[in-house]
């Protein structure tokens, strides 16, 4: 990437738009896997979405706020995504067996049962989702690993844009 293009993309408004698009695409992809393809998220998967839910409105606010306030919003977004990268790294490491995952990990549920008999059948057939088992991998990385990388990239973009907006 040329330095002129990099400077344009890390300006406050273009960076906020890129963060919005990247964050929306990432959490939208997770929701598509869950609701479109039937992948039940584990507890950590659901926790990893929370930074996106916090950062999306802050990135949108950075589009509308005055320059200094936008710089603060982008700095907060950078910190939020650093936490998100940590969550993704922890989850991916647990999947690879580098460290233990949480002992209480279980995922979301399917559709609500219509009656007690359906509930009992679902209870017998339901297996909790294990945080240490990757449900899907692409290019060797699980969704948690991809989340860690995407969160790091979004944190870097937000941090650079915050610094530029604060200095301008």
Could you report the per-residue pLDDT of 110-158, keeping only the tens digit for each?
Answer: 556 667 776 666 656 555 566 667 676 678 788 888 999 999 999 999 9
Q: Which residue in this structure is represented by tokens 């002129």?
A: 4
113 is in which domain, residue-wise? 3-167
Task: Tell me the pTM.
Answer: 0.77
CA proximity to 111, closest of 99, 119, 101: 119
What's the number of domains the chain is made of? 1
Q: How many CA atoms lie within 13 A of 158 on its CB side?
A: 31
CA dist 65 → 68, 88, 148, 167 (Å): 8, 30, 28, 16
pLDDT in tens, 20-61: 999 999 999 989 988 888 888 888 888 999 999 999 999 999
């Amino acid at each position: 990437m040329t330095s002129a293009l990099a400077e344009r993309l890390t300006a406050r408004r273009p960076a906020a738009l890129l963060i919005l698009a990247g964050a929306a695409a990432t959490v939208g992809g997770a929701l598509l896997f869950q609701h479109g393809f039937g992948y039940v998220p584990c507890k950590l998967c659901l926790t990893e979405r929370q930074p996106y839910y916090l950062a999306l409105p802050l990135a949108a606010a950075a589009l509308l706020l005055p320059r200094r306030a936008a710089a603060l919003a982008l700095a907060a977004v950078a910190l939020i995504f650093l936490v998100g990268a940590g969550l993704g790294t922890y989850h991916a490491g647990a999947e690879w067996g580098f460290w233990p995952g949480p002992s209480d990990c279980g995922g979301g549920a399917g559709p609500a049962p219509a009656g007690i008999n359906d509930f009992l059948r679902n209870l017998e057939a339901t297996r909790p989702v294990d945080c240490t088992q990757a449900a899907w991998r692409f290019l060797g990385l699980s969704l948690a690993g991809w989340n860690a990388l995407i969160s790091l990239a979004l944190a870097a973009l937000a941090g650079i844009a915050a610094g530029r907006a604060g200095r301008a």
